[in-house]
Structure 1
């Protein structure tokens, strides 16, 4: 952005020790939006004072967050909640200048390698076995336990780069790949787990009254691709002492998926210095606008 007299004056007031002056200046700078970021970056590069640099960094962060919050809100209000778009939005909280192209290219490469192995004669289990082999064996993706010390393990760009992700982001990535390949695998809301399920697409046609329970053929653990039966899942519910209800076996709304991902990512910033990030991530989760009463 071209420096006007006002912008130049505002930039020179960033180092004002008066908090009220700085707050006023900050709000005015943020009102310019993303175009003023290059001016702030240039000022940062030419400012030797680390405290002033810190103020500039916070202003740049506020500008990125303001834009991300607007994009998240637009995503939640749209009629189409694309998994890839949502994943990229979440990753932009930590990597606001992230380029989409490397992520898209890597996903397309994985999808193509799976597609080359598929054919119309395979059973549902055979399809999933191929996906697991390509994802976990050929590409060597590794599932790791959820750790709030490693925020990068929640972000799609870093998981594609390092091949290390927790069950939530691995599950999102697997569901995304399955969606691109027209394979009916979706996340479900099993308590204390992030689990995928393979849905029988012919179920509703042959069972219009849904007399035989849910339309899930089997379950998939996104940590390692292990397949579970209905009996396995029933045993899990008995183990944790939770009664089984039909709501646990419905596909998760994509907004709910990202709400959950943001809520879990927020737990990575539970320290005094990073508490503002936790607050911001919870605000983004709220922006998903997901209502648990939705069917």
Structure 2
């Protein structure tokens, strides 16, 4: 890998790529051992990046074919694109303290509204998660693992964390999104206790009890308010705009937001082709 003949280097790269993802740990070890050999280090890094990307692409491809389409697994896989050393154990452990604190505040006697108030208290007051208003957004305000550390994120990164915590506590809160960049990423609390006839919001709301705005510190929005707001802003009035989105659509939107954040910063634009390739899977 440090041969002066470029043809030899290309041949070596090709042979290593043929071995596939199984040699990633070996290359990572080798990378650590050749820090004082810049040419060799660069060539190994090129192969390692290619194999890591192939692993991510294959993982997302398998995820799309799976039945459960675990949101946590897909978000983790995407985060490893920017953070290749991130392990699933480290990723999920970041959620444990937040989940435990929410669990301590919730009980079976609470109404749906009270459960959201309890989560909001932990999420926005104790952990102090905040929505970043400045645009364009940085990739580090979108990747969930970095948002878990900084506590500053976008609608979608905060919404993913909020919904993953809620779902882990068997609270039916799910993401609502479309590919329309003007529409915010919202959360929907589904009516599992047949309360809609009692509340009588006055519209057909696809089984959604109410919505939660993570960008507005967990503000509860009733379905009628949301439809009126979208109508006044000229946003689409189709069903997909108002009911929980499939996890595959949420992940597609997540990738598109990451791609947009890369395009806004010159040092990351070389990654755009990779993101386009991942989006082609959807």
TM-score normalized with structure 1 length? 0.81
Shift of 1:42: 4.5
- d(CA) in 2 for partners of 1:204 and 1:247? 22
1:216 paired residue number: 208
> Contact 1:148–1:265 at 8 Å: present in 2 too?
no
Q: Closer, same or farther in 2 for the Cα pair 1:261/1:243, shift >3 Å?
A: closer
Question: What is the Cα deviation at residue 148 of structure 1?
Answer: 4.6
Distance 2:255 2:64 in 1: 13
1:68 Cα deviation (Å)?
Answer: 1.3
Larger radius of gyration: 1
Name the Cα RMSD after superposition.
Answer: 2.6
Match of 2:227 among 210, 227, 234: 234
Pair 1:145–1:285, CA change in 2 (3 A): farther
| 2:133 is the counterpart of 1:140 | no
Mapped to 1, the partners of 2:79 and 2:110 lie a distance apart of: 35
C-alpha distance 149-282 of structure 1, shift in aligned 2 (>3 A)? same
Q: Which runs of 5+ in 2 are unaligned?
A: none
Pick closer, same or farther for the CA change 1:23–1:83 going to 2, 3 Å: same
How do 1:41-52 residues align onto structure 2 when only pairs under 5 Å count?
Answer: 41-42=31-32, 44-49=34-39
State the number of aligned residues.
269
**Which 4+ runs in 1 deviate beyond 6 A?**
none
Q: Residue 174 of structure 2: SS of its match in structure 1?
A: strand
Q: Quick check: 1:32 aligned with 2:19?
A: yes
Specify the alignment match of 1:285 in structure 2: 279
Per mean C-alpha deviation after superposition, the further-off stretch among 167-176 and 53-62 is 53-62
Gaps of 5+ in 1: 1-10, 290-295
Distance in 2, matches of 1:112 and 1:140, equals: 16
- Post-superposition offset of 1:145: 3.3
